[in-house]
Amino acid sequence: MTTAHDMNILDSRRLTGPGLFLDGPGAVLDIRLDEAERDAAVSAWTKAARRLLQALDWENEPLASRAFPGGVSLAVGAPIDGLYAATELNERAWATATAELEGRRPPDFRADVASLLNEMANERNPDLVALSLAARARGEPAMSFLAAPASIENESSSTIISGRPLSPARIIGPAAANASRMSVINSRKKSSGVCSR
């Protein structure tokens, strides 16, 4: 059932690293609403999001809100391998908040948590977490490890983390690694004046 508040969601997206909203990865939900509704909406969302984060053992993840003309952005932090779960958590927290604001029955909390735990299990990627931690320790963005020319030109080349090699294909999947490799190769051809047809 669609409500007026459900239709006010402008965008829901993952955040892969530090940016305007958070100092690390997470998810953000852009909501269109009147300024008069903003404080109550942010308060209800914060309460709902915090409850869900606690249920997932993510209680230390940050929450942030940022007003814009005609709306507000609501951001929730998450582990790098939990970004789809974070977008789902954010949307479920907003659904709970709107139910509270409209005096409706809230969504089933246990069902929400079960769905989120399932998404987290499906998304879990220890290699990506290790890559992110290694990049952070070196003061580099995690994606720089995947975009390093040696890592993407040579299949046998890889980043070593905890004594194990991590190739781009192992972290982001073979198709994405191949697309990344081709992007670098094509950009090098363009910069050297070589064109591929």
Number of domains in the chain: 2
Same domain, 118 and 133: no
Q: What is the pTM of this model?
A: 0.71
The reply to whether 146 and 62 lie within a common domain is no
Q: Which of 123, 154, 173 is the last residue of a domain?
A: 123
Whether pLDDT at 122 is above 70: yes
State pLDDT tens for residues 124-146. 999 888 888 888 788 777 665 55
Do residue 119 and residue 59 come from a single domain?
yes
Co-location of 101 and 51 in the same domain: yes
Cα gap 71→92, rounded to integer Å? 18
Asked if the structure places residue 113 within a domain, the reply is yes
Q: What percent of the chain has pLDDT over 90?
A: 57
Q: State residue 132's pLDDT score.
A: 84
Residues 137 and 94 in one domain: no
At residue 149, does pLDDT exceed 90? no
Supply the pLDDT for residue 39.
Answer: 95
> Does the structure show a pLDDT above 80 at 69?
yes
Boundary-marking domain end, from 75, 102, 123: 123
Domain range holding 130?
126-191
Domain-ending residue, one of 105, 123, 141? 123
